[in-house]
Structure 1
């Protein structure tokens, strides 16, 4: 009896000591030298393979305490593949908590308002190495997948205007198709059903509204001014006047892969249907990505008699002066050109 009691007490002591060792090991901070390096846990890794990986990388000192903990709790399946930054020092339980998040190393992609699909292609190619070998043309080809917007603009020839300007975070290995799809989905979140109803009230198609919004986007940086810019566009359309928006010449140069940062005389004389110096009416489609502010301006333009505008030389906010007559406009343009000459000296 004494021997059995001794064995029982000894067993209890061993269990207590072992439990204390497990508890202490799981909660003891461990220092490593990989705190600034991403540790990749591949897809399909088993719990055992993950623990071996963490041990070999020096993130944990031994896989045994976590292996026992996972066996007891049955939480091994909660660990996910991903790319992780582990603080140093860090406890095994904190490591396990990180592994349950499934973190992926991401790349921030910022698409400013007014970017064209050519600008977007260049930025995607520059920031995602998997696109660099194929080049910008391969990305541009994907922006011609109009199936993504057939419910909104079935007559569109490409996705220009429908890739929403925003800051996105994508996994490093993301496909270009996924990037473009996400930007279009973001646009669809902004394009509300009532916007289509309003377009119908204006006797315009959504594609025409987005085209007008893109013209507004490229002409003004100020939200409060955009409805007035839109009013000029509508007033010119009603009068049968060319819109005369020089940013369409920039777009033509980008389409023809010859944009050098300067609008040349030849750009303004182009016979392209996008040349609003020559054509009457809207260009065939949008010339840039559009913000919701510009969409709203196109849907709800201000009520004015303005048909001209010139950059306001008296302010630094890039605002414009608006005119109803050619004579007023010529005076305003002369003042602007005088100011421009002084600026260039």
Structure 2
């Protein structure tokens, strides 16, 4: 009796076993086909036509499939298993007709030469410059800041630019100008050296020429000039504004420049405008609304004209100034009473 039950059980299992075996063979077959196709992927033609593609800051290799409209499902698997031994840099690249994954990766190591003019505005700080270069796709955001605040790199640069001795940041000495760069071969260190050479040529060798200034005095002049640059845009008024600020410093007053409030928070000029009231009464080494003396470092990068106006300031009886919020015109005052009167008249 038990023999018959066992025999019947085996008979009922046979169809199920056959189905399971069939699925196993199908799985093995599909796996084998996929493995073969994957093994052939490196020789597969991925592009039918020549293409120009643009790699932007932050792009990764995994975005190439979409950029090049590659249909193969093995693209990202291949990149994961065969990580490229180079970094993907922002730039313009030529991908040729009939390209394989190997030739595509080779092309991405040879960007098309492309000159670009970039303009760094007077008064911009290192956070403004970093943001600007990042948005242009020239660098990854943060790279410029990291370089110009690296004390080891600054120390090495001091050998060529003595006026940098002892600095913790290059802020103030990164000359604002229009520069022509090669986006396909942009190097932050080379660009920074060009900025420092421009400062040397336009400021150190001209404005400071025949002036027996110590390193500390140079930094003080540049620091004050960085405030003047942001406080007054009209070159005709800069020497007078510099004179007012110097007099306040000399007599132990606080400079009281709102523009110094945001710097310790590492903000761009645009970001500062939105939060200046939040930090106006904060005590730190930069806020001249709550401290006497100059900020710890420059707060931006002034032009040679502003450095000259600061060094050769104009004396006046004034201790205060403000700008009409409608016209931008500057109004001076000798006393706090006169300053309050100007506030009521022109800050509306």
For the criterion TM > 0.5, the same-fold answer is yes
Q: Could you say what secondary structure the match of 1:158 adopts?
A: coil
Name 1:216's counterpart in structure 2: 228
Q: CA deviation at 1:263?
A: 3.7
Distance 1:108 1:181 in 2: 17
Name 2:147's counterpart in structure 1: 142
Q: CA deviation at 1:205?
A: 1.0
Conserved? CA contact 1:246–1:276, under 8 Å: yes
Q: CA deviation at 1:259?
A: 3.5
2:264 to 223, 242, 252: 252
Q: CA deviation at 1:117?
A: 0.4
Conserved? CA contact 1:249–1:263, under 8 Å: no
1:322 equivalenced with 2:327 (yes/no): no
Name 1:271's counterpart in structure 2: 283
Conserved? CA contact 1:243–1:276, under 8 Å: yes
RMSD of equivalent CA atoms:
2.9
Conserved? CA contact 2:244–2:315, under 8 Å: no
Distance 2:266 2:235 in 1: 26
Conserved? CA contact 1:236–1:242, under 8 Å: yes
Name 2:163's counterpart in structure 1: 152
Name 1:299's counterpart in structure 2: 311
Distance 1:282 1:300 in 2: 18
Q: Measured at CA, do residues 151 and 104 of structure 1 come closer, stay the same or move farther in structure 2, by a change above 3 Å?
A: same
Distance 2:268 2:288 in 1: 16
Larger Rg: 2
- The alignment covers a number of residue pairs equal to 234
Distance 1:181 1:201 in 2: 23
Q: CA deviation at 1:146?
A: 2.2
Distance 2:178 2:268 in 1: 28
TM-score, length of structure 2 as denominator length: 0.61
Conserved? CA contact 1:153–1:206, under 8 Å: no
Superposition pairs of residues 69-84 of structure 1, within 5 angstroms = none
Q: Deviations over 1:3-28 (max 9, x none)?
A: xxxxxxxxxxxxxxxxxxxxxxxxxx
Q: Deviations over 1:188-229 (max 9, x none)?
A: 111234644676479961010000110100001111110011
TM-score, length of structure 1 as denominator length: 0.61
